[in-house]
């Protein structure tokens, strides 16, 4: 198996295809997810990201009228899915590693497990606030920022674990990816502050960057230009999600704090149903991909959200 950085080098300048998948809800069958991945093997993805979902807090009424707070994890199985992808498809999995919901020691143990499984790629993220809360709060002895987590992974790569030991520690060999936001993380004070945090992650050991979804390529190009001017030289993958319903015209900007181009808005508003809107989303994303590929991006990274039909249509036009 290989690292993401190896796959980029082996592509010799050719744009590669990759996807992100989400674990099924607890109790659902893994077969549906694997069946959705299967047809995408046509495009030879060298790696597949697998998201990690932190705990959620649920309030359940009791017979006596009291409310019991339950902590649950609705989408467990990230490591198991990574192993399934590795063995079924022979594709390198990239598990997400979060600050949220983990102590530093739990993170180290998680990374050790990945290392034992031969998984050499991780995407390091702060993660979202635990539902139903709006504010991110780290676990006691956990991290508040992804840059801190990047540093821990980079230290393990140097054989530096959290606690001293009386024997030499074997270094891990993780390729570290991090996230970036061409249109600014919604919690950042301003673009400059957000950008400084990204540079910190790279300076502490990130090997590549994957962006949040966007629908205006110019925002991505401006972002890359700013990165290069600041001395950030690592590969930058554009993250893409084709619009698939009329409702997403309002939902995606609200959830992901991004802008929709006016031409896309007009095209979707002219649609009579979601079938038409989905086709508009495919055509828009194809044009994005053609322009991005022409610009020489290292790869096109698709957020599939568990579905593959529209990504297949797009990939067949590009790869």
Active centre residues (catalytic): 20
CA distances from 150 to 118, 156, 239 (A): 19, 10, 20
Whether 124 contacts 206, CB under 8 Å: yes
Cβ-based neighbour number of residue 249 at 10 Å: 18
Q: Tell which phi-psi region holds residue 132, choosing left (phi > 0), alpha (psi between -120 and 50) or beta.
A: alpha
Query: In the structure encoding, which two tokens stand for residue 310, read together?
Result: 């529209």
Give strand pairing partners of 121. 175
Q: Tell which phi-psi region holds residue 161, choosing left (phi > 0), alpha (psi between -120 and 50) or beta.
A: beta
Burial class (CB in 10 A: 0-12, 13-18, 19+), 53: buried
Whether 23 contacts 81, CB under 8 Å: yes
Q: Residue 56 and residue 79: Cα distance in Å, rounded? A: 19
Whether 121 contacts 47, CB under 8 Å: yes
């Amino acid at each position: 198996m290989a690292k993401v950085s190896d796959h980029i080098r082996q592509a010799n300048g050719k744009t590669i295809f990759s996807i992100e998948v989400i674990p099924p809800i607890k109790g659902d069958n893994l077969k549906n997810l694997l069946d959705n991945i299967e047809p995408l093997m046509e495009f030879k993805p060298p790696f597949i990201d697998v998201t990690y979902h932190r705990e959620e807090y649920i309030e359940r009424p009791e017979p006596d009228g009291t409310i019991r707070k339950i902590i649950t994890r609705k989408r467990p199985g990230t490591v198991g899915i990574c192993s399934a992808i590795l063995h079924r498809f022979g594709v390198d999995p990239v598990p997400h590693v979060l600050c949220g919901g983990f102590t530093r020691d739990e993170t180290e143990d998680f990374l050790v497990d990945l290392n034992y499984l031969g998984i050499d790629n991780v995407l390091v993220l702060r993660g979202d606030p635990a539902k139903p809360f709006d504010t991110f709060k780290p676990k006691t002895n956990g991290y508040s920022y992804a840059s801190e987590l990047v540093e821990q992974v980079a230290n393990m790569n140097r054989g530096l674990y959290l606690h001293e030991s009386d024997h030499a520690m074997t270094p891990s060999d993780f390729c570290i990816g991090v996230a970036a936001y061409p249109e600014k993380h919604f919690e950042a004070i301003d673009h400059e502050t957000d950008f400084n945090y990204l540079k910190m992650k790279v300076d502490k050991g990130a090997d590549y960057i994957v962006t949040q979804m966007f629908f205006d390529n110019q925002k991505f190009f401006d972002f890359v230009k700013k990165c290069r001017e600041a001395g950030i030289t690592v590969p930058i993958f554009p993250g893409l999600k084709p619009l698939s319903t009329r409702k997403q015209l309002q939902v995606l900007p609200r959830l992901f704090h991004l802008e929709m181009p006016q031409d896309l808005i007009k095209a979707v508003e002219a649609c009579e149903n979601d079938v038409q809107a989905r086709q508009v989303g495919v055509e828009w994303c194809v044009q994005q991909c053609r322009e991005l590929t022409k610009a020489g991006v290292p790869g096109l990274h698709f957020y599939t959200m568990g579905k593959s039909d529209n990504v297949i249509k797009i990939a067949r036009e590009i790869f």
